[in-house]
Amino acid sequence: MSGLFTLGETLGLVAANGIGPLGHAQGFSFGIGGAESNVAIGVARLGGESTWLGRVGPDAAGTLIASRIAAMGVRTLAVTDEAFTGLMVRHRRSGEFTQVDYHRAGSAGSRLAPADLPAAELTGATILHVTGITPALSETARAAVFQAVETARAAGVTVSIDVNYRAKLWSRFDAGPVLRDLVARADIVFASPEEAALFVPADDAPAELAKLGPAEVIVKDGGRGCVALIEGVRLTRPALPVTVVDPVGAGDAFVAGYLADRLAGAPADARLTTAIAAGAFAVTVPGDCEGAPNRAELAALSGADVQR
């Protein structure tokens, strides 16, 4: 095995159609959503090899999650658990504000454990990617993330983390030390300025995050683009001007673009160009991962050389 290996919870997604209060929705769609599987799907769509590991329930939502991730070209290691598959309910209250309610406490995905980890596949990966979401789900899920990271590090596998702080899962006080510890063990880190401020001074987030150990630090800042410090070289990229249809999933698409290019051996500036284009494309289509772009679509959007 080679390519990207990631693990975490993917949820069933109930999304209200249209914009307005949930009670006035004219219909709903059902899909899937999870930061780690979003990245795995994004990498696969851009031509990379990717594997996702997670627990799902013995229910229709769990079956859908496993089949849909696999259908997107991702090697899928879905462990069936006796607990239910978690759900999220999302609606756009206005054109500028999206609300998401989670129903995941005690879910199958939250019961991820170190025993679920396939050591041989972890050590054979090129990149292990984790997020700050999974450690917030349960003690066993946190232990699984840290064990995956230590196993990968011992084997010389590159470790990537997206801080991805979720205030609905844990407090800043509880999250800060854990996320700092994870970042200190990573080779690549992605964070927003607000996420970085959980555990480093905010005056120069890329430099402060790099002091913890990662050689590649990428601070993603939405409509303002990104700032990176990669092997000591500072790089910036502005966001692409696009019409926003659905802002959810942009950060995951950005990460997928960067990691797909890294797997392909692209230089740092090209990785950021692809990441910016993938994030921009994601907001022009509805859904968390269904509209993940391929290389030709990114090239059409940005005019950049992203056809590796």
Q: Residue for token digits 């005690």?
A: 106
* Residue 69 and residue 10 in contact, taking contact as beta carbons nearer than 8 Å: yes
Q: At residue 285, what are phi and psi to the nearest 5 degrees?
A: -130, 150
User: 3-state DSSP call for residue 281?
Assistant: helix
CA angle 99/104/108 to nearest 5° reads 145
**110: enclosing H helix or E strand:** none
H or E segment and range at residue 155 = none
Task: Give residue for tokens 């959007």.
Answer: 301
Element (H, E) at 77: strand 75-80
Q: Which residues are catalytic?
A: 252
In 116-242, beta strands by DSSP E: 127-131, 158-162, 188-191, 216-220, 226-230, 233-237
